Amino acid sequence: MINHYNIAQRSLLDSIKLFNPITTIRNPVLFITECCLIVMVVLTIKPDLFGSTTLTKEINLIISLILLLTILFSNLAESLARNYAKALVDSLRIVHGDIEVKRVLDNGLIEYIFTSQLNKNDIIKVEEGDLIPIDGEVIDGVATVDESAITGESSPVLKEPSTDTSSSVTGGTRILTDWLLIKITSEQGQSYLDQMVNIAEGIGRQKTPGEIRLNTLVITSTILSLCLVTILITVFNYLKIKIEISFWIALLIALIPTTISGLINSIRIAGFDRMNKLNVLAMSEQTLEIASNLNIIYLDKTGTITFGNRIATEFISLGANSIIDVAKAAYMSSYYDQTPEGKSILALSRRYGIEDGIKEMKVIPHEFNSHIRMSGIDLENGEILRKGASDAIKKMVISKNGKIWENTDQVVESISIQGGTPLLISKNNEIIGLIHLKDIIKTSLKERFKELHNTGIKTIMCTGDNNLTAKVITKEAGIDEYIAQAKPQDKILLIRENQAKGLIVGMIGDGTNDAPALAQADIGLAMNSGTIAAKEASNLIDLDSNPAKIIDIIKTGKQLIITRTSLTMFSFTSNIAKCIIILPAIIPFKEFQILNILNLTSNISMIISVLALNALLIPSLMPVALNGIKIKNLTHKYLVLQNLIIFGMGGLIAPFVSIKLIVILVERFIK
């Protein structure tokens, strides 16, 4: 659980530590504000340092305190965002410090070492109750793994070697049953969770293009503001018009973009934090900005759109044979089939009341062979049971002058049209029925892909399957288009063609054959259930293995962009309003009194009120920066423009209302 009190306490301490000028100099706006604070502290001690003055020590002290709060609020906004992100990541990281693990040596012996001593390509043995310390790949054994601490999914996951969907394991998960031999695939500190922690902590972080543009804007406007105030001071000194140095400081602080400068890091960290809450590991922060502009998404089928393992969904009897006869034959012919398909046939058979009884029999098992494409069993009573591909079983039965029912081909074709895989079952050279295998589509995809379609983003499924199967899956999943019988190199070519047109392309996959396309795409989203190669080639990994989550990633990216641009607009338009309000108090010309829209009479209260609002805007907008601007309708074409207008107008109007209220309070306090 995240302790909010501890986070607030830690953030307050961190914000005080950030007063260090060596740290502050990296943020030009805060550095200038801190320099102004130092000048005001000196003037508080010695008000006449720059000549005679009408300002008292008390007024200078109030201005100093307001500047101090401005810096403190800016630091606090960044510290809160950073500490919340760290707390969330730390809650995901289960392995704290070194734990003892069993490393398997070349001679087969086991030595006990600590996690910190493990190297990439080491082999470890994990048994029931053990934590998996680092990301790896299963090379031997079969076990169930609890991934709930990482994915939030309570159902245990079966892990075994040599399968795309279940051979990779993530550090921090726990073995529930049996044992596994795991080959370590990550260097120390380079696991998926480590990379997420490093980004959250800002280790070795590079600014995104959007941040670079915003920083350039902030620095440029700050330099221009500094130059403008310097020129005004020079002109007024030349004209021998005395203006208090405190007033010039107030004008400079009102001009420079302190609001967005204080919130920029909070917006960035909070955006990344929202990705973590989605259970998505982002290997770089730039992916968020890219995702917000996606035009086209290619998706793998097996293991991505579908669960990846074909599952037995129904038995169909032929001729005079009953469903029970077919279920029993399917069970016995699949008893020694350890593939996911074979296990699903056994599970379906048990629904028909078929019980284990083969162990007591003398049988001859026939394992699946890729050449004959069938498997089965010879019973001690002389029965011969086989199951396999429809053409292989038919060929065998015909060669032995067996019986094939007239509607066999019709039923086979019917299953194929539905996108399923028909397996024929034969008993003593008679085809008695079929098994309907189906690659099950992941839940809720159709509704989510429809939402994606409405945003104008095209989805295309690329699969090695035949045209008929691809067409059925595409329709069921609600995907726009499909490309059948696609090879890995075809996917890369398609992505490159679209990128050459200036489109932002995404790729979602889970297999080793998807890795090149995932690496080529602007956004590569890998399923956590996929292979190590796929995950290493991607810049996003979905721990829940849900391809429809891409729309949540897009929303998060758009939310980050809209929040940043809207608050930037608010910051600059509020600066315009603050300058309009403060100029009549600083420049003693009648022509400037036309700007005194609020009809304020006290120059001192006017300046204090503007500075006070400048400081208060940061904590006032902090919830918006941390939570992001809510996006209700992702299909709205003018979503960014709408928010820019709202926040732009808000930045112009809010200061006039707020400062009028603050002036009333300040004047009462001064009196």
pLDDT at 475: 87
Percent of the chain with pLDDT over 70: 89
Range of lowest pLDDT (118-122, 369-373, 553-557): 369-373
Determine the average pLDDT of the residues in 279-293: 81
pLDDT at 203: 44
Residue carrying structure tokens 């370590």: 184
Q: Is 240 within a domain? A: yes
Name the packing angle between helices 258-277 and 550-586 (round to 10°): 170
**Catalytic residue at 14?**
no
Q: Is the pLDDT of residue 149 over 60?
A: no
Same domain, 336 and 434: yes
Same domain, 334 and 372: yes
Q: Is the pLDDT of residue 188 over 60?
A: yes
* pLDDT-derived band at 163, boundaries 50, 70, 90: low
Number of structural domains, the chain? 4
Same domain, 471 and 571: no
53 or 102, greater pLDDT? 102
Amino acid at 591: E
Q: Is 94 within a domain? A: no
Residue carrying structure tokens 């501890």: 6
605 or 36, greater pLDDT? 36
Same domain, 64 and 145: no
Amino acid at 501: K
pLDDT at 14: 83
Q: Is 164 within a domain? A: yes
Same domain, 322 and 430: yes
Q: Is the pLDDT of residue 312 over 80?
A: yes
What's the mean pLDDT when you consider all of the chain? 83
Strand 136-140 versus strand 168-169 pairing type: antiparallel
Amino acid at 171: G
Same domain, 506 and 479: yes
CATH number for the domain including 424? 3.40.1110.10
* pLDDT-derived band at 230, boundaries 50, 70, 90: very high
What digits encode the pLDDT tens for the residues 461-504? 988 777 777 888 888 888 999 998 888 888 899 999 999 999 99
pLDDT at 90: 63
pLDDT at 96: 44
pTM for this model (two decimals): 0.74
What digits encode the pLDDT tens for the residues 196-218? 656 555 544 566 777 788 889 99
Q: Is 190 within a domain? A: no
Same domain, 215 and 151: no
The beta strands (E) that lie in 115-264 are given as: 123-127, 136-140, 143-146, 157-159, 168-169, 174-175, 179-184
Helix H, strand E, coil C: the string for 72-111 is: HHHHHHHHHHHHHHHHHHHHHCCCCCCCEEEEECCCCCEE
List, in sequence order, every residue forming a beta bridge with 541; answer none if it has no partner: 281, 526
Query: Residue 416, Cα to own-chain centre: how many angstroms?
Result: 37
pLDDT at 615: 93
What digits encode the pLDDT tens for the residues 637-648? 677 788 889 999
Range of lowest pLDDT (63-67, 286-290, 371-375, 431-435): 371-375
Residue 204 belongs to domain spanning: 4-89+198-261+270-277+554-670
Q: Which is the catalytic residue, given 146, 194, 300, 552?
A: 300
CATH number for the domain including 451? 3.40.50.1000
What digits encode the pLDDT tens for the residues 264-285? 888 887 887 788 778 888 777 6
Q: Is 192 within a domain? A: no
CA dist., res. 653 & res. 655, Å (int): 6
* pLDDT-derived band at 436, boundaries 50, 70, 90: very high
Q: Is the pLDDT of residue 1 over 70?
A: no
Q: Is the pLDDT of residue 505 over 90?
A: yes
pLDDT at 176: 82
Structure tokens at 330: 């399917």
Amino acid at 175: I
